[in-house]
Structure 1
């Protein structure tokens, strides 16, 4: 009995120590040149998947512990990743300066549809909506109507590196990454934050992909180029998780079918 009490006290002590190990990281986000405060900047702890948004004067407060990595981002500005040290958790407010990204001006080609006023002819001239999505009963994911870009996986080696296979393998080896994405999708505060983000940085961090690889993954999941360019980070996370669940179900179904004994009679 005494051993049991001692064990319980030890577990309780470890739990209390673990809770006390977490502190509040406090700081302010400012413009790197004008020094003006930035309100509604995003601050996300990549380890604990907890996030917050700066207030009207750029201040934030976030739970963190030593060695956590914090991603700080603001629309139109270069994001930074901050490694939390014990010194940063001693109560002193941290001032983080973000700098505007250089603006890229791209050539835009505008094409018009020539209509002549005859309904039978004009209907054929109007382009069809290639991004209409349909729902298939039994599957949670919707799919976009249109001819997907074909990929050549003719060699056995190329077939091993299909983006969806890589995703399935990644989540199998690192289930914590999957849980982090699921938490981002589930919690209201994080959903609200990601609904206004379009930089893909959180996804690239958790999926261990660059921007091009992420685009290829969504294309492999039957999402259009339009969706990949215009979707918010929240929509992208939902799309990747839906794609993974469908792929897992198909994979499991294939394995189950292979297990069915064949009647030789």
Structure 2
């Protein structure tokens, strides 16, 4: 067999391998979006735990309902809580590391009939192994390994919700800062003689909460957050959700006495 025939045979083999998905990087990898684990919350309508993933770049949020045990495993890792004995996901990590493997990444791959599917990519020596998984287990292991978490673009598009972002902010405002906001009406803008239609209305203030202690009142209008102008509730939500957990918020408020600066420190869960 001459060299030309050998070259053609090798080229044909590479083409077949490429089409069969042999190579580690596939076209689908271009559709993966990296996410952060924002936290674990309780859905108010079902009283079920939800893990919330938020895109690193586009800030879309993906809620995934999970079991109570898996919610605890994720929350413990996020809050750096140590246990006396290794729990299930700690044991799984010990086994993975014990055989000289490592978690390279976790991927939320699919959403079918409201059920999420995931994969864990393990690096074993020079090879990679793909393990089918529930999203909650994949997330719990990736957090323990310090590995990135991805969501496929199709899943992100099908499951992300602007309403979820609003719900997350409302829960944070209520629990951590003690107030709620809503969009302001044209009548209120006219009555308060505001310069423009931008801002959000403080619709509720919890007695004894941080907002109450700093003199925030129902009917106040928030014009700025962390120095940025606030156009409406959606704008306010996206500005707030990007803030690091535990950071004070600085707002400019318009009320009966004119504009004033207010700084609020988040309230600890125990308070």
Higher helix fraction (1 or 2): 1
Q: Same fold (TM over 0.5)?
A: no
TM-score, normalisation: structure 2: 0.21
Higher strand fraction (1 or 2): 2
TM-score, normalisation: structure 1: 0.22
